[in-house]
Amino acid sequence: MTNALQRDKQLLTSFDVATEFHSEATQFQSALATSLDESLALFDGKWLLRHFLVEKFPKAKPDGLCQEWITHAATSGGLPEVCDLWQRITGSPP
């Protein structure tokens, strides 16, 4: 994967895809070594905020989508699965 990204990096001159991919993969592998739940939460959260919501609401600003998601989660008490994950990771209720 890294070789292919390096080979084609001239196609995107404003963004270093290979370096960003390596950084994200390293962060994910570190989380995975620590906790499967933590790594899945990291992966799912990034997918939701960086891909799905951006595609679904193309006129919205990514930072605004993130803030709206955080506000919704905080005011609704969060999903039971997320609250359970939080408690397992931190040892205290959300």
Alpha-carbon distance values, 65 to 8, 17, 32, 39 (Å) = 31, 23, 26, 22
pLDDT of residue 59: 92
Taking the CB of residue 19, how many other CB atoms lie within 10 A of it? 13
**1: which DSSP letter?**
-
> What's the whole-model pTM score?
0.49
Average pLDDT over residues 6-15: 78
9 confidence band (pLDDT: 50, 70, 90): confident
Residue holding tokens 């994950």?
85
Summary mean pLDDT of the chain? 82
Ordered by start, the domain boundaries in the chain are 1-34, 36-94
* Under 8 Å between Cβ of 62 and 49: yes
| Residues 53-77: b if buried by 16+ CB within 10 A, e if exposed | beeeeeeeeeeebeeeeeeeeeeee
Q: Express each pLDDT in 22-68 by its tens digit.
A: 888 888 889 889 887 777 777 877 888 888 888 889 999 888 988 88
